[in-house]
Structure 1
């Protein structure tokens, strides 16, 4: 009579063990995913702590504003690159494009604003046309955008053969505005992250964009035009590029045909650092903004270490490789979890 309860208890114990088996991997996988999303924040926090350790005076309103000021145009250039990466393309022309916008802002915008607006709209339309051609002709984006980079650079040189020009007073004043409580770069980072998040993860358009990057055949099967959709993505990237260029010339008050040449590679690095991938439609708007802040802080930290500018690009690359190595390790943990 007493054997039956024992067998029942043993059976219940084995059943509880069996039922509890899948719970641990599930929690482990969620933990790895949280770690993956937290990595950009961790990288930014470590760099910020290193900067404050090296230069304690940076821990102030003025210090943070000085540290992160150049991140403002880079954040919007990064959002432009993120839009292209979201459809599994790559844009090698965003740097020259931002330089062209800055050249327009320093030459045409102060004296002939109507012509400047038309030129900027034409530049966005050219971006949209490039996206349509890439989709309709099945051309590799890396080749098309590389060709576009020379077009943008040539137009910028025609407008501004030598560094100079002058930004409009209203634009310079806007970029020099002293925001309450927190420096402008932090407010701009919050704005860029919220706009990108709402656009990519909270809107129907964002769902289509990620679908185009991950499974374009499925998007086409439900009746959407892939040509129009890719053209819209490129147009939106062009709009972010225009915002970036105008903010850049507002900060510098003048322009140069090569003023944003480094934005091409830095924007790619910022998107990848923030959790994006080259294929599959995997991007993180909040992570991309954090990545842009991290890349800006890395340059400032290397300056505080008295590292020559010629070596700073290489050191930034090493920092990026280190973070990407950690991401790869986390990806492998996610596969085994």
Structure 2
């Protein structure tokens, strides 16, 4: 059992999600239905997309402290420009993705600490969001609202979307050639350079992918909430980091799991519902989510160490 959990890192986040889901159903049996599951994972899609975005950055040994502010900016653009002038809105969102790629190139070109650059960018994104939407408001485009509230026949939209996100991201990062090279940048950048790959472009590409998934996250969030706010997704920065690590990823070495990251995001989203069922004060819920994360990571560390001792 120890060898199994140590070798297959995906098992621990899967078990964690299953245990939390079982505990939620035990406390609230009425949640064991199509409508109930949809409510439990209602906001899981934007969190999962933000977690995948963070995974792209962690994959190349960086960390992004501006992601929450960036998703908030995207939400403001979606609820205003994309709703009122779709062509301009699409152009702005495309420009934000290019800007994200440029940040990655800048960090690599001048060997800047990503944690400092992205922290600074969080104020830039936040300031732009306030300029676009000084107070909560705006409206979700009709097509986006319809997409996010569609009701598939067997599983709720949130679950179907999570499966699609996990599957497509897994194919992109774990099965494609470019995904292997991107993970190689995080694992051994020197070897990638010796193989003739341009690390500058690869890192810009990783950041560009992060920007792309960040844009999808902000759009999905507006599709669910129908409005936006300059601070609507600030918590996503820490939630996305926690989701990647909870899903079996590591801060260095290019070791990430696309499926695990999505499961980690689902676990964090479910944890919020579970704590609400426990009637825990909102002031304590963030701390309780942190405790769940620490327990899972401690279990992973114990399994890894015991596996090494037995080997």
TM-score band by shorter chain is: over 0.9
Distance across 2 between alignment mates of 1:281 and 1:233: 12
Q: Which has the higher contact order (CA 8 A, sep 6+)?
A: 2
Q: Any gaps of 5 or more consecutive residues in structure 1?
A: 1-26
Deviations 1:251-294 (A, max 9, x none): 00000001000000001000000000000000000100000000
Task: Report what 2:6 is aligned to.
Answer: 32
Mapped contact 2:137–2:227 kept (Cα < 8 A): yes
Q: State the 1:115 CA deviation.
A: 1.0
Given the two structures, how large is their TM-score scaled by the length of structure 1? 0.90
Point out 4+ residue stretches in structure 1 off by more than 6 angstroms.
Answer: none
Deviations 1:173-199 (A, max 9, x none): 111111111101111111011111101
Q: State the 1:37 CA deviation.
A: 2.7
2:192 to 216, 219, 235: 219
Distance across 1 between alignment mates of 2:171 and 2:6: 25
Deviations 1:153-175 (A, max 9, x none): 00000000001111111111111
Task: Report what 1:89 is aligned to.
Answer: 62
Q: Does 2:19 match 1:46?
A: yes
Show the 5 A alignment for 1:256-271: 256-271=229-244
Q: Any gaps of 5 or more consecutive residues in structure 2?
A: none
Q: Does 2:19 match 1:73?
A: no
Task: Report what 2:141 is aligned to.
Answer: 168
1:157 to 116, 130, 145: 130
Compared with structure 1, are the counterparts of its residues 30 and 327 closer, same or farther at alpha carbon in structure 2 (3 Å cutoff)? closer
Does the residue aligned with 1:127 lie in a helix, a strand or coil? helix
Task: Report what 1:132 is aligned to.
Answer: 105
2:88 to 115, 119, 126: 115
Larger radius of gyration: 1
Q: State the 1:334 CA deviation.
A: 2.6
Compared with structure 1, are the counterparts of its residues 319 and 29 closer, same or farther at alpha carbon in structure 2 (3 Å cutoff)? closer
Distance across 2 between alignment mates of 1:32 and 1:308: 35
Q: Does 2:181 match 1:208?
A: yes
Distance across 1 between alignment mates of 2:169 and 2:138: 32
Distance across 1 between alignment mates of 2:125 and 2:205: 20
Deviations 1:17-72 (A, max 9, x none): xxxxxxxxxx97456313x3310011000100010011000000000001001001
Pairs aligned (count): 310
The RMSD of aligned alpha carbons is 1.1
Distance across 2 between alignment mates of 1:121 and 1:32: 41
Distance across 2 between alignment mates of 1:66 and 1:261: 22
Task: Report what 2:220 is aligned to.
Answer: 247
Does the residue aligned with 2:80 lie in a helix, a strand or coil? helix
